Amino acid sequence: MPEGFFKSPQRTGQKTGIRGGSKKGDREPESLDLKVLEKRLDDSKTFINAEMLLKENYPLCLEQVEDGLLYNVVRGGIQKLVNCGDNSGEYLVVKSELDYLQDRRTAAMLQKVPDIIQGEFNRGNIQDRKAFLTIGLNHISNIIRYLNEKRITISSPPFASIPCEDYNAELNLAKENFGVFIVLPRTLLEDQQALRINGLGKMVMDSRNPSSTEASVSSR
């Protein structure tokens, strides 16, 4: 379940998202050594990401988890923020709106996960009710908070030029009794600046405390 929209269902003829992948035994995976990856990722004319590379080479079943409306509104908010320029008053308002919309986007993805997994399990596409959700580092601190509180609470910004409402709901992952592991690449886990910028410094330190009973972060 990758974050973001990467292919149009109309182009692929598939009903949802970017399902599918090569069948096991169809062909050997292509080389994915560092130089090959660097060359492909450096090509600014063609969009590629980790999920798409994996789908090309391994029999993965990928399912769209984004909320289309929220995804596009957030994209618009980012562009609006970029265009604020030196207007600090407008910047603060737009930034607070964008933070709110990003939180709502994260919440929407999380709330859809149990139904997506159950649907794939019912269709026989997976043997266990398990899945990976790949998502950006800046979402993780909120996800950990939601997991620890077993619910999602998002306050509307105090000043906004767009309609914003408080959001408060029980976390579906907790309600459906899903176990959740958060795995970070070791390079990110050891990058103190990246952790601090994304509000994860204290959380990572706490997760390394054996007495901690809250959601933890692992490295791979």
- Examine the domain organization and report whether 125 and 67 are in the same domain: yes
Q: Are residues 66 and 49 in the same domain?
A: no
**pLDDT per position as a tens digit, 109-135:** 999 999 999 999 999 988 899 988 888
Whole-number percent of the chain with pLDDT over 70: 77
Half-sphere exposure of 116 (CA within 13 A, CB side): 23
Q: How far apart are CA 148 and CA 142, in angstroms?
A: 10
SS3 195: helix
How many domains, the chain?
Answer: 3
Which of 198 and 115 is assigned the larger pLDDT? Answer: 115
The pLDDT of residue 155: 93
Cβ atoms 94, 77 nearer than 8 A:
yes
CA distance 143 to 166: 17
Do residue 8 and residue 50 come from a single domain?
no
Average pLDDT over residues 191-212: 75
Three-class secondary structure of residue 161 per DSSP: coil
Asked if the model's pLDDT at residue 54 lies above 90, the reply is: no
Which residue range(s) make up the domain with 161? 1-20+61-177
Unique residue bearing structure tokens 């929407």: 108
| Burial class of residue 107 (count of CB atoms within 10 Å of its CB; 0-12, 13-18, 19+) | buried
- Which residues, other chains included, contact 128 with Cβ-Cβ below 8 Å and sequence gap of 6+? 121
Which pLDDT does position 13 carry in this prediction?
A: 34
At 112 the pLDDT is: 94
Kindly state whether residues 7 and 77 are assigned to the same domain.
yes
Does one domain contain both 133 and 214? Answer: no
Gyration radius of the chain over CA positions = 19
Check whether residue 106 and residue 84 sit in a common domain: yes
Residues 21 and 55 sit within 8 Å (Cβ to Cβ): yes
- Both 118 and 214 in a single domain? no
Residues 198 and 165 in one domain: no
Identify the weakest region by mean pLDDT among 17-21, 41-45, 128-132. Answer: 17-21
User: Cα dihedral sign for 101, 146, 138, 19?
Assistant: negative
Same domain assignment for residues 66 and 137: yes
Angle at which helix 68-82 crosses helix 88-122, to 10 degrees, equals 160
C-alpha span between 11 and 212 (Å, rounded): 48
pTM (two decimals): 0.73
pLDDT at 171 over 50: yes
Q: What number is the average pLDDT over the span 15-43?
A: 58
If asked whether residues 93 and 8 sit together in one domain, one would say yes
134 and 65, same structural domain?
yes
* 61 contacts 126 by C-beta, under 8 angstroms: yes
Cα torsion at 62, 67, 69, 75 (round to 10°)? -70
Is the domain of 118 the same as that of 186? no
Q: Can you say whether the dihedral through the CA atoms of 193, 195, 199, 202 is positive or negative? A: negative
Q: How many whole angstroms separate alpha carbon 151 and alpha carbon 169?
A: 6
